[in-house]
Chains A and B, each alone.
Chain A
Amino acid sequence: MNATPVPAFERGVRLREEADGSAVLLVPEGVVRLNASAVAALRLLDGRRSIDDIVSALRESGYDAPEDHIAEDVRELFVRLRERRLVRW
């Protein structure tokens, strides 16, 4: 399934993983703090996977939430990230 946009980090934005399993986004103007679910989604952002691909991968990861909640949350996350010019498609 690949009908949804394929997001990629905007220029100058990169994911920095920490030793404790957390991660932040480094951006030219500062740092973006992420919660665990946002980190899980952004780890799958490789410029090749569509948003639906990322949703599918997360659904199969054994989370304690209904699949439709995960799908809605992830789609909303990417829209918000795009509004802040952190990702593009």
Chain B
Amino acid sequence: MTQTRKHWDRPDFEVLPLGV
């Protein structure tokens, strides 16, 4: 059985100031 590999992207984040 073939195991599906999960896609890896460079981890990223974005701070959204209260406004959200």
Contacts and interface: CB of A to CB of B under 8 A. Distances in A.
Interface of A: 25, 27, 29-38, 40-41, 61-65, 69-70, 73-74, 76-77, 80-81, 84, 86
Contact of B15 (A30, A37, A70, A73): A30
Contact of A33 (B4, B10, B16, B19): B16
A37 B20 contact: no
A20 B19 CA distance: 24
B1 interface: no
A73 B6 contact: no
A41 B6 contact: no
A31 B20 contact: yes
